[in-house]
C-alpha cells in the first residue's frame, strides 16, 4: 500500500512538473510571436536582413498598433453594454 502511494505521488509530481514546463513555454512562444508581429518582423524582406522599405515597415507597425487599439475599444464598449 505504501509503495503504491509513493508511486502515485511520483506520478503526480511528474505531471505537475511537465504541465508547468508546457504552460511556461507556450506563454513564452506566444509572447515572442506577438512581439514579432507588432514589430513587423514578418514583413517581406525583413527576414532576409534587408530589402524592406522603412516606410512600409513603419506603416505595418502603425497599422497593427491601431488595429489593436480598435479591438480594445470594441471590447471595452461591448462589456460596457453589459453593465447597463
pLDDT by residue, tens only, the chain of 84 residues:
677 778 877 877 777 777 666 667 778 888 888 888 888 777 766 556 666 788 888 888 999 999 999 999 999 999 998 876
At residue 54, the pLDDT reads: 83
What pTM was estimated for this model as a whole? 0.56
pLDDT at 47: 53
The residue ranges of every structural domain in the chain are: 2-83
Please report where in the chains the cell 508511486 appears, as a residue. Answer: 7
CA distance 12 to 31: 29
Q: Are 37 and 57 in contact (CB under 8 A)?
A: no
Amino acid at each position: 500500500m505504501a509503495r503504491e502511494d509513493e508511486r502515485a505521488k511520483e506520478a503526480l509530481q511528474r505531471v505537475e512538473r511537465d504541465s508547468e514546463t508546457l504552460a511556461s513555454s507556450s506563454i513564452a512562444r506566444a509572447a515572442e510571436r506577438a512581439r514579432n508581429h507588432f514589430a513587423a518582423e514578418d514583413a517581406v524582406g525583413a527576414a532576409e536582413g534587408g530589402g524592406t522599405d522603412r516606410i512600409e515597415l513603419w506603416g505595418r507597425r502603425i497599422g497593427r498598433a491601431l488595429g489593436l487599439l480598435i479591438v480594445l475599444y470594441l471590447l471595452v464598449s461591448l462589456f460596457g453594454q453589459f453593465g447597463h
